[in-house]
Amino acid sequence: MLKIDSIIAQSVADACNELYGSRPELNKISVQSTRSEFEGNRTVVVFPFTRLAGKSPEATGEQIGTYLVENDDNITDFQVVKGFLNLSISDKYWAEALGEAVAEKECFGLQALKSKPQVMVEYSSPNTNKPIHLGHMRNNFLGYSVSEILKAAGHDVVKVQIINDRGIHICKSMIAWKLFGNGETPTSTGEKGDKLVGRYYVTFDKEFKKEVADLIASGKDEETAKTEAPILLAARDLLHKWEAEDSEVRELWSMMNGWVYDGFDYTYKEMGVDFDKLYYESDTYLIGKAQVEKGLASGAFTQRDDSSIWVDLTDVGLDEKLLLRKDGTAVYMTQDIGTAILRFEDYPSIDRQVYTVGNEQEYHFKVLFEILAKLGYSQASRCHHLSYGMVELPEGKMKSREGTVVDADDILLEMRTSAETLASEAGKLENIPPSERDELYKKVGYGALKYFLLKVDPKKSMMFDPAGSIDFIGNTGPYIQFNYVRARSVLRNASIEDVSTLAPSSSVHLDDTERDLLMTALSLPTVIEEAARTYDPSLVANLCYDITKSYSRWYQDHPIIKEEDSDLRTARLALCALCSQSVKTGMGLLGIDMPERM
């Protein structure tokens, strides 16, 4: 809610109390932007007060409007349109609001850190059998941005990931390397470790399909062939040996995972994401198994005749869920139970956990949260699955085992190269020292990618369009960055080093376009609060675009430095500063760096 909306709501409550002898609750008073075809800046919905007044909406609006003009200096005029009270806000208020916002600089009125409950956000959570790819990038940018937005809204945030470092998929890469690797390493090949291991995951799939085809040709049916393929049996043997803590297998596992971790670290650094704590499935699945046994002892779970352990969730509209197989081995749910409980123990103050995971896992998390509730964890009802749609390529869904994924490193390189090409072709490098150019290409290229993946509602699937993402026209990161740079250039040309010195005169008049732009820029804290509540960075992204688009139109029609009226010049410089501050703050919450020149 804008500050003026709070002021208006309080004045409306005072009016109702004075006129009708009853004070409505402030959260029941609706204040919104006035539609462009009517006079005024803010509109109050009058219908809820007609019962108090015992009058028609029009008559009620007239009474309240008259009271506000007479008793609130911020309101200069009103107009009643049916059940809506349109209010005109004073020049004095707008000038003071602009000056206060600019004086706040980087804080921009955001919540004090740690004023709200601690939240844990999980994101990334890769498998150690392949590099980070395009799908992971949406996950990472989404989880990181939600973390930053929650911080800005006042939460203490713990950023974590669970690294899926065990299981048959890991063993597939391992056995392929043993059979076909000839001892090669990242050092011997010059290849990033995660890409090297991922290459052997693809090699496994190719060899597996070849063996299946050979078995079918020898007379086996397809299902039998798939279960009896020698390379798959060898991978399963590795898995059994790993779970039995065979030293040779564990050594190979540690070596190959180490290669992958080195690769991940490089990619995370380039992507600009980080974590406060890492969890590993190879540790948490054991904790999960112990918790399942405890749940069995407490009666929360049941054991069947074959010794498998299950939870019955039919009373809450879900199914029965396997937690431990009959041979005592864990399933994915087992690991997630252990991970969640370990985190509650590691961070006793966390109010909830937010899981950034694709929408194909929605049922899984419904089950997980119900299980945690059965185990007595009160936070379970507040845990949240941040479900997001998949990112696809024009040619269809990516498949890691077939090698049709787009590696994150390759995307980052492509975006950086595209930024360089565009800058060169546009002739925009003359004023950029060569030593600063590579950093600029990263800011523009990486910013374009992040914005493209975050401007869409997380729940929606999307098609990756690298060329469209880096366009300098339309709802793109580079368009926002370019206009930010233009605003900063105006302030430099006006020799404004400290924007907090821009104190607009209380008598200066801002026209309707300027007031609308000011209201849009001032709405950032409100949008951040909503984005934190809904875990939706697209709200912040699209506000940055709205501010930028409005600023660009205003900039074309309103002289700033050349404005002859000194009071109006100061106000417009302040508006320029506010828009650049708000956009920089908003884009920063998306993990996007803003260049000062481009």
**What CATH number corresponds to the domain at position 44?**
3.30.1360.70
Tell the residue number behind the tokens 């009016």, with chain if given: 15
Residue 104 is assigned to a structural domain of this protein: no
- Nearest CA to 214 among 231, 199, 234, 202? 231
What is the per-residue DSSP string for 436-463? Answer: HHHHHHHHHHHHHHHHHHHSS-TTS-EE
Could you tell me the two tokens for 283? 């540790």
In a domain, 580, yes or no: yes
463 secondary structure, DSSP code? E
The packing angle between helices 524-534 and 538-557, to 10°, is: 160
Task: Collect all residues with Cβ–Cβ distance below 8 Å to 403 and sequence separation of at least 6.
Answer: 202
- Write phi, then psi, for 506 (nearest 5 degrees): -65, -15
Q: How many CB atoms lie within 10 A of CB 116?
A: 17
Do 182 and 34 fall within a single domain? no
Q: What is the bridge-based pairing of β-strands 350-358 and 384-388? A: parallel
Packing angle between helix 434-454 and helix 538-557, nearest 10 degrees? 120
- In angstroms, rounded to a whole number, what is the distance separating the alpha carbons of residues 574 and 87? 24
Give domain status of residue 399, yes or no.
no
185 falls within a domain: yes
As a whole number of angstroms, the distance between CA 230 and CA 328 comes to 25
Q: Which two tokens stand for residue 446?
A: 């990486």
- 173 and 85, same domain (yes or no): no
pLDDT of 110 reads 60
Contacts of 345 (CB under 8 A, 6+ apart): none
Longest dimension (CA), the chain: 95
**Pair 68, 178 in one domain:** no
Give the CB-side neighbour count of residue 451, counting CA atoms within 13 A: 32
Which pTM was predicted? Answer: 0.91
Task: Examine the fold and report which residue of 208, 232, 263 is the final residue of a domain before the chain moves on.
Answer: 263
Beta bridge partners of 392: 463
In angstroms, rounded to a whole number, what is the distance separating the alpha carbons of residues 28 and 396? 48
Looking at the structure of the chain, the number of domains it has is: 3
Determine how β-strand 391-392 pairs with β-strand 462-463. parallel
**Quick one: 482 and 573 in the same domain?**
yes
Give me the domain span that covers residue 247: 167-263
Q: Is 407 a member of any domain?
A: no
Contact 547, 580 (CB under 8 A): no
Please tell me the distance from the alpha carbon of residue 312 to that of residue 301, in angstroms, as a whole number. Answer: 7
Q: Does residue 298 form part of some domain?
A: no
200/81 same-domain check? no
Do residues 174 and 72 both lie within one domain? no
- Domain boundary (233, 263, 293) is at 263
CATH number reported for the structural domain that contains residue 424 in this entry: 1.10.730.10
Query: What is the rounded distance in angstroms from the CA atom of residue 107 to the CA atom of residue 444?
Result: 24
User: Kindly report the CA angle at 541 between 387 and 491, in degrees rounded to 5?
Assistant: 160
DSSP 229: -
Reported as type and span, the H/E element at residue 356 is strand 350-358
Look at residues 453, 486, 447 and name the one whose alpha carbon lies nearest to residue 470. Answer: 447
134-152 and 524-534 are packed helices; what angle lies between their axes, rounded to 10 degrees? Answer: 120
| Residue 415 and residue 446 in contact, taking contact as beta carbons nearer than 8 Å | yes
**Are the beta carbons of 2 and 526 closer than 8 angstroms?**
yes
Q: How far is CA 405 from CA 136, 395, 408, 411, in A?
A: 11, 11, 9, 11
- What does pLDDT average to in each consecutive run of 10 residues of the chain (598 residues)? 92 97 95 93 96 96 98 97 96 94 67 80 94 92 98 96 93 97 97 96 96 96 96 95 95 97 97 97 93 94 96 96 90 94 95 96 97 94 96 60 71 93 77 87 96 96 87 93 96 92 92 94 94 98 98 96 95 96 96 93
Inside any domain, residue 319:
no
How far, in Å, CA of 421 to CA of 186, rounded? 31
Which residue type occupies 358? G
CA distance 252 to 400: 22
What's the pLDDT score for residue 398? 43
Q: Identify the domain boundary among 263, 285, 306.
A: 263
Task: Determine, yes or no, domain membership for 42.
Answer: yes
Is residue 77 located within the same domain as residue 172?
no
Strand runs (DSSP E) across 6-145, as ranges?
A: 31-33, 42-45, 75-81, 84-89, 116-122
Asked if 66 and 187 sit in the same domain, the reply is no
